[in-house]
Structure 1
Amino acid sequence: MRQATGNALSAALIAAISSIEKEYTMSLDRTERNARPGVDRQFIDRWSPRAFDPTQEISREEIEIIFSAARWSPSCFNDQPWQFVVAPRTGLDFQDFLETLAPKNQKWAKKAALIGYVVCRRHFAEKEAKNAWAEFDSGAAWMAMTLQANALGWYTHGMGGFDQAQAAKRIGADGNAYKVICAFAIGKRSDPSTLPEDLRDAESPNGRKPLSEVVQFGHLGTPPTA
């Protein structure tokens, strides 16, 4: 009995060590992502990998949590113009969604747990007027769901490289009423070596412009200071 218990503990320990080693080997250089002290780590740790683990499936509960976070985003007149149309890899729609992506994006997105689109309604729901801020508001919702996905251990990757007209037709989006803004993938990270060779060099978090080039006081175009 003791020997059996010992063997089980040894197996569990080996599995834990293996998991730590895998995460260590997947660690990436973050020297270009140093932030001002006080900035929450959730913003610095968010990035858009391409190497996803095809064995990882996203549950219905996780999907609902991720997009529930997007519901709480701010919007003009609280109109909430965003919609997300998604296809988990285990579902019937995944291949159709994948085929709307640019060929280079299909190479890696085929291993994602989910592919989806960010869609916005072009007009306010309660009036006939065009909503000029619909895409801006939908971007806020995208950021919210991205950060929530990261909090659950998932990574997102937004894509402009997709056939917008084909995607709109596939999901039944009337172009006069809706705009398919972008496509995206959600997945669990895998080792960069699993990517096609032409994509491996890009598999690293990007740096950011200095704050002096982003925030200016009183006048646009003020020369950035050190």
Structure 2
Amino acid sequence: MKIIYCGKTKDVIEGDGATHLYFKDDMTGKDGVFDPGENQVGLTVTGSGRSGLAVSRFFFEKLEANAIPTHYLSSDLEARTMAVKSVTFFGHGLEMICRYRAAGSFLKRYGAYANEEQWLDGYVELTLKDDVRQDPFIGKDALILLGILNEAEYETVVRLTKQISSIIKEELLKRGLELYDIKLEFGRERDTGAILLIDELSAGNMRVYKDNEPVAPLELEKLLLDDHE
């Protein structure tokens, strides 16, 4: 296996003719406190990598059953690896945030107008992956003008974001959990150019609440998978 990219919470490795994601025990946050909205490693929690992979596998399999195009191929929980399709990115990386309730950076930016936990009805925001510039938000017109994607691709990623987020929201609701927001990433399949959901689908990129209290990342796996065979 050869490491081709070292990320904050995952490494991209190649071997046996395939691409794999290795899930680390590092988590995003600040001052030792987990926060899926941060773009820096804030803490290391033993078992979080395996947990994140288990939750990701659960959701990717649900999406596959709903004919959603993703990069997921298979996973090995003990090795903490996920085999994925080879992709290219929109620019240097484009993330979609689907928001159901006002929290995190949305509340920091719009707190003069929005109330905490205000219903946002699946509002979608787009950000560029750029640690130096703190992952700036960007609109449709700028994305097209800068050649990051075209209008048809924009409509596709927004549609898929809403569809995927709704499926995940409903799965969580079955277990008495509420999805406040989720961050998704898309790319193009290298061989076909098809738009795919990429990255992971774990507590590391979503805010989930139970009885109006935030659910910790490792707790999400227990609540979600304890009754799943």
**So what's the TM-score if we normalise by structure 2?**
0.30
Greater per-residue helix proportion:
1
**So what's the TM-score if we normalise by structure 1?**
0.30
The structure with more radius of gyration: 1
